[in-house]
């Protein structure tokens, strides 16, 4: 059947201005890092994209190497665009990235102009698009001058192959340097994509200050800490989880007893707030307006529905925030 988007899709979502730009992003964005590759069930990914859009999620985040195999998430998203989303292209923010190894040889990795321009051309072919809305450099390159990398990002915008550019995994110092170059070139940095969650707060120690000073938006990835901040691991590692399958990025050993204790304690507080642990974790990331969007992953439609429902309560009392800090410090030894 022909997909027709829900007529009330914009009534479910909150939209936040991205830095000093004119672009509004949904408070919840959907990432295609996992569950959208060539080895996954296509119709499940298709259903998740459709329901996400019906709930007002307009931003879909990909990278050249997402799969597996690398590139297959972009190829599958092209099929979803062709089957369902093409009529709504102007309502979508589609982003992709380059920075990790993508093809053999010296030109398929890191941050050279050669790699970034070639990779975007390949991504556009896989996506079946003339342009992406946001093109990220996925990680800093210690061996390429930052001027060259930023000039490549400026170049693809001037070519019309990207509307905006962003950075991911850059430190505070690297972000400040990159932003300076981009401003001088006339293509300011729109957005930064760092990891950020209740148990991963590194951006609070310098990066958030730089982003505020530079007028750069923030989209936090891993806000649920790869499932640790959900009900998934409260009673052990499920046999059908990625942790049990020894994912390259997550293994059973990553789910420590301390992480389980943190999750259980936080889950109790979330229940007192009338939320699931995942909903409270997302609300915490979005709590003070410093984060433009929380980037979620999902393996089924119900997870997207649960996550969007977090927007019903984004406020915290001082006591609740202090309790969260105390739980994390007690079990993980981390302080703000």
How many other C-beta atoms lie within 10 A of the C-beta of residue 3?
16
pLDDT digits (tens, 9 = 90+) for 35-50: 999 999 999 999 999 9
Q: What is the pLDDT of residues 297-308, one digit of tens each?
A: 999 999 999 999
Q: Is the pLDDT of residue 250 over 90?
A: no
Number of domains composing the chain = 1
- Give me the helices (H) in the chain, please: 42-54, 72-80, 113-127, 146-158, 172-185, 207-214, 257-273, 277-285, 301-308, 318-332
Q: What is the domain range of residue 130?
A: 14-233+288-314
Mean of all residue pLDDT scores within the chain = 94
Check residue 245 and give its pLDDT: 52
Flag whether 243 is in a domain. no
> Average of pLDDT values for 320-334?
94
Q: How confident is the model at residue 249 (pLDDT cuts 50, 70, 90)?
A: very low
Measured in whole angstroms, how far is the alpha carbon of residue 213 from the centre of its chain? Answer: 22
pLDDT, one tens digit per residue, over 162-182 is 999 999 999 999 999 999 999
pLDDT score at 253:
59
Per-residue pLDDT tens over the stretch 264-299: 999 999 999 999 999 999 999 999 999 999 999 999
Residue 37 belongs to a domain: yes
pLDDT of residue 88: 98
Looking at residue 237, its pLDDT comes to 64
Whichever domain contains 181, its CATH number is: 3.20.20.100
Domain membership of residue 327 (yes or no) is no
Does 248 fall in a domain?
A: no
User: Above pLDDT 90, what percent of the chain?
Assistant: 90
The alpha carbons of the chain give a radius of gyration, in whole angstroms, of 19
252 domain-assigned: no
In this predicted model, what pLDDT tens digit does every residue of 109-132 receive, in sequence order?
999 999 999 999 999 999 999 999
């Amino acid at each position: 059947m022909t997909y027709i988007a829900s007529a009330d899709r914009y009534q479910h979502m909150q939209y936040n201005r991205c830095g000093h730009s004119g672009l509004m992003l949904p408070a919840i964005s959907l990432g295609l890092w996992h569950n959208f590759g060539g080895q996954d069930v296509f119709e499940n990914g298709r259903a998740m994209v459709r329901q996400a859009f019906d709930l007002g999620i307009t931003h879909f985040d990909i990278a050249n190497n997402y799969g597996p195999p690398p590139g297959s998430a972009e190829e599958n998203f092209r099929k979803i665009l062709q089957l369902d989303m093409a009529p709504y292209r102007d309502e979508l923010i589609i982003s992709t990235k380059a920075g990790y190894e993508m093809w053999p040889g010296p030109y398929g990795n890191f941050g050279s102009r050669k790699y970034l321009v070639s990779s975007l051309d390949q991504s556009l072919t896989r996506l079946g698009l003339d342009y992406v809305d946001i093109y990220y450099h996925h990680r800093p390159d210690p061996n390429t001058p930052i001027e060259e990398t930023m000039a490549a990002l400026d170049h693809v915008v001037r070519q019309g192959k990207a509307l905006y550019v962003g950075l991911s995994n850059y430190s505070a110092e690297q972000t400040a340097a990159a932003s300076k170059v981009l401003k001088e070139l006339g293509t300011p940095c729109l957005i930064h994509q760092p990891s950020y969650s209740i148990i991963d707060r590194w951006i609070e120690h310098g990066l958030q200050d730089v982003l505020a000073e530079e007028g750069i938006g923030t989209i936090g990835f891993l806000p649920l800490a790869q499932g640790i901040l959900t009900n998934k691991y409260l009673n052990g590692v499920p046999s059908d989880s990625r942790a049990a399958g020894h994912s390259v990025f997550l293994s059973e050993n990553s789910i420590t007893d301390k992480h389980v204790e943190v999750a259980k304690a936080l889950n109790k507080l979330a229940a007192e707030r009338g939320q699931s642990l995942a909903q409270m974790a997302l609300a915490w990331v979005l709590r003070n307006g410093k984060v433009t969007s929380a980037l979620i992953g999902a393996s089924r439609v119900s997870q997207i529905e649960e996550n969007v429902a977090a927007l019903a309560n984004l406020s915290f009392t001082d006591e609740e925030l202090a309790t969260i800090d105390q739980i994390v410090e007690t079990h993980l030894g981390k302080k703000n």
